[in-house]
Amino acid sequence: MGAVIVGISDLKLAKPPDTLVTYALGSCVGICMLDPMTRVGGLAHIMLPTIKVSPGDKNIMKFADTAIPDLVRRMEMQGAFRGHLTAKIAGGAQMFGSTSSASSNGANDIWQIGQRNVAAVIATLQAMSIPIVAKDVLQNYGRTVLFDPATGIMTVKALNKTIKEL
């Protein structure tokens, strides 16, 4: 069984017995997707909510609104069926600055990137009719995610926290 490492602003696919792993999910969000019929699994590690913030950027895997459709397309090329896909998400932490909500004038929006990432991931998945079946998001700590396409289990590890299997 091999671990397929997914870097920041990256995405990869795996089938059993391989697993997918991503590290350093602070304000970034990890999106695990699975077709339970074919056991094609995918993991994207997005850094920003939308490509609109950096329209010249060639790395579409960096953004929720472009990485998720690309992940789905790649999974379909490996035999997955969009109608079978489910998603599990983790990350989107508030790593720096205030943990309170953004002020009404938006002055703290720069510190709300984790929250904005989570909202963009949820909106993109909803727009694609892909249900989110589990999540471990927000808070104020980083995470490591392991995803096993054989079982569909997303394991979330964080320093000084209980390991979660979702």
Where in the sequence numbering do the catalytic residues fall? 28
Q: Exposure of 166 by Cβ count < 10 A (0-12 exposed, 13-18 middle, 19+ buried)?
A: middle
Q: CB-based contacts of 78: which residues, under 8 Å, 6+ apart?
A: 13, 15, 38, 40
What's 115-129 look like in SS3? HHHHHHHHHHHHHCC
| Cis, bond preceding 16 (omega within 30 deg of 0) | no
Give the H/E segment covering residue 64: helix 64-77
Integer Cα distance of 92 and 64 in angstroms: 12
